[in-house]
Chains A and B, each alone.
Chain A
């Protein structure tokens, strides 16, 4: 069964810290892995990863995929209170659907 597992479930850090969020998957026919950020409303798309070892970067956020070990990480450096959100990881297993993890709730304390 296709499965996506995120860790930790929640994380509280101080502003300025660096955080690493984890996403692992069990695959039958892996195609891509996606990260989303969800504040109070719609999840917003951050990154899509399809190849191992290629880092995707957007400002203070970056992400990388390891297809051999079946995981991805999302890094946020110099965190700000606006980074507080639920971060969702999802994988596409070669069909029309995305399978989501349960999310990591990140709280940044000023």
Chain B
């Protein structure tokens, strides 16, 4: 069965900290995605990756970076966390771009 695992369900950090969110998939998928989900705004794409060491900006990349050193792992980095980055973060993966994406359970991140 498809499995996307996010390292933390809940995370509390302070303004200015560097924050790492980790995502691992066990399906040998080429494509991985990071979204944030906010009330009234739906899911918005931050970054995605279609291959190891490859990354593309999504719709709201500002304040974020990503790393994909291995196929199964995609990390989201908040370089200097700010309160407006408090949100639910969802990781997803898919085998090919236009096939259904499989989601992790999400990380609810609070920046104080």
Contacts and interface: CB of A to CB of B under 8 A. Distances in A.
Contacts, number: 51
Residue among A36, A42, A44, A48 with max Cβ neighbours from chain B (10 Å): A42
Contact of B45 (A42, A88, A97): A97
Interface stretch (A55-63, A64-72, A100-108): A100-108
Given A96-B97, A97-B48, A103-B42, A45 B102 contact: yes
B101 interface: yes
Contact of A31 (B44, B98, B101, B106): B98
A45 B1 CA distance: 13
Contact of A45 (B33, B45, B100): B100
Interface of B: 4, 31, 33, 35, 40-45, 48, 50, 56, 58, 90, 97-106
Interface of A: 31-32, 34, 36, 41-45, 48, 88, 90, 92, 94-98, 100-103
